[in-house]
Chains A and B, each alone.
Chain A
Amino acid sequence: MTPLLQVKGIEKRYGARIGCSDVSFDLFPGEVMGIVGESGSGKSTLLNCMAGHLEPDAGQVIFGTRADGPVDTVTMSEPERRMLSRTDWAFVHQHARDGLRMSVSAGGNIGERLMAVGDRHYGAIRDRAIDWLGRVEIEESRVDDRPSAFSGGMQQRLQIARNLVTGPRLVFMDEPTGGLDVSVQARLLDLLRGLVREMGLSAIIVTHDLAVVRLLADRLMVMKSGHVVEAGLTDQVLDDPQHAYTQLLVSSVLQV
């Protein structure tokens, strides 16, 4: 099996400070990888470098495209990268309002991505938007409402629908459950897990919630001060952490 994504020696500096340094890994189709670490450890910098939102100072992000096989997305042209981010990639922001158009209806938010890849039939777009609202458990009657009238949990689900409607193969998620109350989190986790299974998605999830990665991620990478200090199978890293920082992180979790 060939990897869907190969990350090689990614480094990003902000002046003299290190954002992230020397990060390498392979992600295979259907795999879900979690990235954990405290605030400022470089998780989001890394995610943004991989998703093409930030330009890394060094390294390669090689994605197995449908048409041309493995391509380095760091050096590809901006239009090519933008097309990739509308078709094969998806990015779920921590704050739903960063990933949604707040002044456009829920249906329009989902339809926009379809139109960006060439769909033009209004009826068909609307039907798919309604289908996706159902999949993320939003009532059909809300299709013409703006996301500003939605609760935080609904906005987050709408953002997920908008991202997944074009059938991406790789989803980047930045704290997808952050800022949501626990019952809404549970619902979102269950939903994400189901979608990952049904669609055979690969995903990279940045979070600082260890319970979230235990439920969602197959593999785990632990970051501290811009470096990966430990990586492996999720339950092995959490049950038998090897690095001092991971041990501290795991032992700091409050038991409920």
Chain B
Amino acid sequence: MIELINVSKSFTLHNQGSAVIPVMQGASLKAAAGECVALTGASGAGKSTLMRVIYGNYLAASGQVFVGDLDVAKAEPREILALRRETLGYVSQFLRVVPRVPTLEVVAEPLLAVGCDKQAALDKATGLLGRLNIPERLWSLSPTTFSGGEQQRVNIARGFAHDYPAMLLDEPTASLDAQNRETVLSLIEEAKARGAAIVGIFHDIEARSRVCDREINVSEFTPGMAA
């Protein structure tokens, strides 16, 4: 479902003496349907960079990045938009929303975007918010004023609202208490069971060994650091 072939990435800083910083070289990985692959490596090794290359907000310098049949490295903006709407979900570490939109709608939005019936979308959002222990009295408020942990859970609810065939998870269990962590891990297991291909970053070793089928150390792709 997700396949990277010989991907490289570098940043050119035009305003700082045109310095070219190579950050990734020869990155290849594969995640099949129903499989969860963990990216490991020290901080700065390029885990998040790799995720962003897959999601398309970083432009790969060379190589191919397949999600389904689409090569994200060469796709048109509207093809990537359609991919993100229907196929590829991303749970980032930060919630980015339009101010003033109620939490329930923030969570239901990905479903509405794929043409889901409004009531069905709201029902699903309600279910997810309930499972993630967001108190019902907060659902009609914008999440911008919520605590960090609550925002994180709203973000997860939003990320799991639509049944994406492929998902990227950036530390989904960070800063969660035991009960919520358990909920998130079962959401991941359910996603795998319905056949989602997942690539994720998990600093929580126990969580990683429970949901991930394989690990890939991204330091192997860091230029000048390969053993």
**A-B interaction:** yes
- Interface residues of A, count at CB 8 A: 24
| Residues of B24-80 contacting chain A, CB below 8 A | 52, 56-59, 77-78, 80
B57 and A244 form a contact (CB under 8 A):
no
Does chain A have a CB within 8 A of B13?
yes
A236 touches B58 (CB 8 A): yes
**Which chain A residues (224-253) contact chain B, with CB distance < 8 Å?**
232-233, 235-236, 239-240, 242-244, 247-248, 251
Complexed CA–CA distance, A214 and B96 (Å): 10
Which chain A residues (174-199) contact chain B, with CB distance < 8 Å?
186-187, 189-190, 193, 197
Total A-B pairs in contact (CB under 8 Å)?
A: 54
User: Does B225 interact with chain A (Cβ within 8 Å)?
Assistant: no
Which residues of B are found within 8 Å of A243, using beta-carbon distances? 14
Is there an interface contact between A218 and B78, defined as CB atoms closer than 8 Å? yes
Contact call B98/A186, Cβ cutoff below 8 A = yes
* Residue B15 CB within 8 A of the other chain: yes
Question: Do B14 and A233 touch (CB < 8 A)?
Answer: no
* B residues contacting the other copy or chain, number (CB 8 A): 20
Q: Is A219's CB within 8 Å of the partner chain B?
A: yes
Contacting residues, chain A, for B14 (C-beta < 8 A): 243-244, 247-248
Measured between beta carbons, the chain B residues less than 8 angstroms from A233 are 56-57, 77, 80-81
Segment 65-103 of B: residues with Cβ below 8 Å from A? 77-78, 80-81, 96, 98-101
- Assembled-state Cα–Cα distance A198/B12 (Å): 40
Residues of chain B within 8 A (CB-CB) of A232 are: 59, 77
A115 proximal to B (CB < 8 A): no
Cα(A243)–Cα(B11), bound, Å? 11
Residues of chain B whose beta carbon lies under 8 Å from any beta carbon of chain A: 11-15, 52, 56-59, 77-78, 80-81, 96, 98-101, 112
